[in-house]
Amino acid sequence: MKGPRGTQDLLPGVTEKWQYVEAKLKDLSARYNYHEIRTPIFEHTELFQRGVGDTTDIVQKEMYTFTDKGDRSITLRPEGTASVVRSFVQHKLFGLANQPTKLFYIGPMFRYERPQQGRMRQFVQFGVEALGSEDPAMDAEVIALAMNAYRELGLQSLKLVINSLGDTESRNNHRQALIDHFSPVKEELCSDCQSRLEKNPLRILDCKKDRDHPAMGTAPSILEFLNDYSRNYFEQVQAYLDAMGIAYVVDKNLVRGLDYYNHTAFEIMSDAEGFGAITTLSGGGRYNGLVQDLGGPETPGIGFALSIERLRMALEAENVELPIDQSLDCFVIALGDEAKVKAAAITEQLRQAGMQTDKDYLDRKMKAQFKAADRLKARFVLVLGEEELENNVIAVKNMESGEQENVAIDQITSYIEGII
């Protein structure tokens, strides 16, 4: 038996790394005053159709959708924002005293795709959403948080790319201009671009095959279509980033795959060696119309999401060692039947006193028990044999120094507490 395609089991040895990363992200969120929200991993299919957008790849071909026993169309969430906004509206969080509402989430997402390194059918995203503020400083805060998530874990080779998609008006005007621009030469474009023309004309600008087509150079840029408000907003976001000392590049061809984005869009990519075709670590942007689209009051929002899998890939690509303590305080060795019983009691006593303690359960020879203790990185080995039992002591060996001494059995816990 194997797990379904595109899924993975996280086993002891790596779960510790995940826990470390997750704890870091939660700590980071707390410092920026973002609070955790947990939403269901499945939702009504309609939420994503309306929220993410009917024309997106996610909705058109990547969703895990099924009908439940009550004949409802259900979808495993492919991303986090739609659910968070739905919850924000449903529970009327816009009415709370503290605004903007700053939320973070972490959990599994599902997309039906052809898996490869860094692209899973079930993957874990951490993301934040700030709802209720249309301040360029808010955009900068979210970007800063995203960058720090990587920086604080030790990553160096990062590239922050930003762009503005403008407000809805700017965006739609630009889209139409692109369609007008490329339609006359549609037949000369590659098949991908011909379908992009309807779906997502901005993508054409990114095409590798049609890079040299004459229409490329003359294509209208989004920046030309930004109205005054949009242009000014984008400039202010950059001013805030500059003030915070966050380096970025503006890429006017940066397009996000989800329909709800407007104004600020950004992506963080890894420059590290050994990254394949997939270099995007996280992405986000502003979505001022989404709350209203999902039935709430007109409320601006901005957020981003990162994949823990890709974050961990980046850590490995940059050879970042996470400071994970895998040692054990004590390992108790028993020799003889009588000692075994006493050793079990002492082990339990040490554990209750807070020591990470283990013992042998395979009736191994003393030598083998020492090897086991060594493998487990035990700091102290406690040996209880017939001699010790007779004298009511237990031998305590410091595995690092090699020193060993006998300690009275009824003193053992306080003795260990004293030296640990």
Residues 319-348 interacting with RNA (rule: CB under 7 A): 335
The closest alpha carbon to 196, from 178, 213, 184, 214, belongs to 178
Query: Other CB atoms closer than 10 Å to residue 365's CB: what's the count?
Result: 10
Q: Give the strand pairing for 42-44 and 73-76.
A: antiparallel
* Shortest Cβ 254–RNA spacing (Å): 10
Is 301 annotated for ligand binding?
Answer: no
By the rule CB under 7 A, 280 interacts with RNA: yes
Q: Which stretch binds RNA (CB under 7 A): 4-12, 97-105, 169-177, 243-251?
A: 4-12
Shortest approach of RNA to residue 99 CB, angstroms?
A: 26
How many CA atoms within 13 Å lie on the side-chain side of 81? 30
DSSP 263: E
* Residue 22 counted as an annotated binding residue: no
Q: Which stretch binds RNA (CB under 7 A): 2-10, 19-27, 40-48, 226-234?
A: 2-10
Residue 12 within binding range of RNA, rule CB under 7 A: no
- The residues, ordered by sequence, that sit 6+ positions from 6 with a Cβ below 8 Å of its Cβ are 113, 115, 119, 120, 121, 122
Residue in 99, 157, 279, 413 binding RNA, rule: CB under 7 A = 279
Residues 248-267 that bind RNA (CB under 7 A): 255-258, 267
Q: Using the minimum distance from each CB to RNA, give the nearer residue, 5 or 186.
A: 5
Q: Does 9 bind RNA (CB under 7 A)?
A: no
Stretch 286-305: interaction string toward RNA, x if CB under 7 A: -------------------x
Q: Rounded distance, CA 217 to CA 133, Å? A: 37
- Expressed in angstroms, the distance from the first to the final Cα of the chain is 45
Residues 121-180 that bind RNA (CB under 7 A): 123, 125
Q: Are 25 and 18 in contact (CB under 8 A)?
A: no
User: How far, CA to CA in Å, does 52 sit from each of 61, 203, 282, 394?
Assistant: 13, 17, 17, 65
Q: Among the candidate windows 14-22, 149-157, 204-212, 290-298, which touches RNA by CB under 7 A?
A: 204-212
- Alpha-carbon torsion 194, 199, 204, 209, what sign? negative
Instruction: Single out the residue of 173, 177, 179, 216 nearest to residue 198, CA to CA.
Output: 179
What Cα–Cα distance (Å) separates residue 212 from each residue in 204, 215, 253, 353, 379? 12, 8, 16, 71, 65
Q: Supply 386's token pair.
A: 């017939």
Chain residues 361-390 in contact with RNA, contact rule CB under 7 A: 364-368, 370-372, 374-375, 381, 383, 385-388
Choose, by CB under 7 A, the member of 139, 309, 318, 329 that binds RNA. 309
111 is in an annotated binding site: yes
- Tell me how far apart the alpha carbons of residues 220 and 323 are, in angstroms, rounded to a whole number: 49
Q: Which is nearer to RNA, 94 or 112 (CB)?
A: 112
Nearer to RNA, 298 or 370 (CB): 370
H helix or E strand, kind and range, residue 379: strand 378-384
Given candidates 174, 286, 310, 359, which one binds RNA under the rule CB under 7 A?
Answer: 310
- How many whole angstroms separate alpha carbon 281 and alpha carbon 315? 11
For RNA, which is the closer residue by CB, 93 or 109?
109
Identify which of residues 250 and 368 has a Cβ nearer to RNA in the complex: 368
Question: What is the per-residue DSSP string for 90-147?
Answer: HTTGGGSSS-SEEEEEEEEEE-----BTTB-SEEEEEEEEEES---HHHHHHHHHHHH
Cα(394)–Cα(342) distance, integer angstroms: 10
Question: With respect to RNA, which residue has the nearer C-beta, 215 or 278?
Answer: 278
Among 196, 263, 286, 312, binds RNA (CB under 7 A): 196
| Range 208-247, binding RNA (CB under 7 A) | 208
Site for RNA in 99-118 (CB under 7 A): 111, 113-118
Task: Based on the shown chain and the rule CB under 7 A, indicate whether residue 399 belongs to the binding site for RNA.
Answer: yes
**Which of residues 297 and 412 has its CB atom nearest to RNA in the complex?**
412
Q: Which is nearer to RNA, 213 or 231 (CB)?
A: 213
Is 20 annotated among the ligand-binding residues?
no
Site for RNA in 33-72 (CB under 7 A): 56-58, 61
Q: Which residues are annotated as a binding site for L-histidine?
A: 79-81, 111, 125, 129, 256, 260-261
Q: Give the residue ranges of the annotated binding site.
A: 79-81, 111, 125, 129, 256, 260-261
